[in-house]
Amino acid sequence: MTTPAAGEGAPLPRFLCDTAALAAQDDAPAGALWKLAEAGRQLDANVVRLPPAARVAPHTEPDLDVLLLVLGGEGTLLGADEPVPLRAGGLAWLPHGAARGVEAGARGLTYLTAHRRRPGLRITSATEAERLGPAPRAPEGPSGVS
């Protein structure tokens, strides 16, 4: 398989967003302020804003390493042996299999995450779904709960 040459339908590098401007928005809503949404990408990335004292509870991601770059505010990386302070310009590696969480400080926290793209759900057409037939049922346990 060959890679198309530039001009033959290959994606081109381009400017995506001004992360400093996103981080400077004091009145920005909580949640994702930006996300990479280009078709055919191999990477997922987003800019997230947590309001003061908000947190993403510690959780374990079994499959993906994540890079977290702090763009504005301050907070704490949770899940390490000891809480790790985060501030603008700080870069953290969140290895797969490790518990990780984030808590915003008094000024809130804005950060960018990037990781390998997860495969998405595949949407099939009605005719393909009919051809494939119903999905097999999982066996039930003794209590009737799968």
CA distance 7 to 42: 20
Please indicate, yes or no, if residue 4 is contained in any of the structural domains.
no
Range of the domain at 98: 19-110
Q: Which two tokens stand for residue 123?
A: 């949407």
What pLDDT is attached to residue 126? Answer: 56
Q: How far is CA 58 from the centre of its chain?
A: 15
What's the CATH number where 57 sits? Answer: 2.60.120.10
Cα separation, 92 vs 110, whole angstroms: 14
**29 found inside a domain:** yes
Q: 69 lies in a domain?
A: yes
What pairs with residue 130 in β-bridges?
none
Residue 41 domain-assigned (yes or no): yes
Question: Is residue 125 a part of any domain in this protein?
Answer: no
The residue with tokens 């119903």 is: 134
pLDDT tens across the length of the chain (146 residues) = 444 455 567 888 989 999 999 889 877 889 999 999 988 889 999 999 999 999 999 999 898 999 999 999 999 999 878 899 999 999 999 999 999 999 999 999 999 999 999 766 455 555 554 554 444 444 343 333 32
The closest alpha carbon to 65, from 106, 115, 134, 130, belongs to 115
The number of domains in the chain is 1
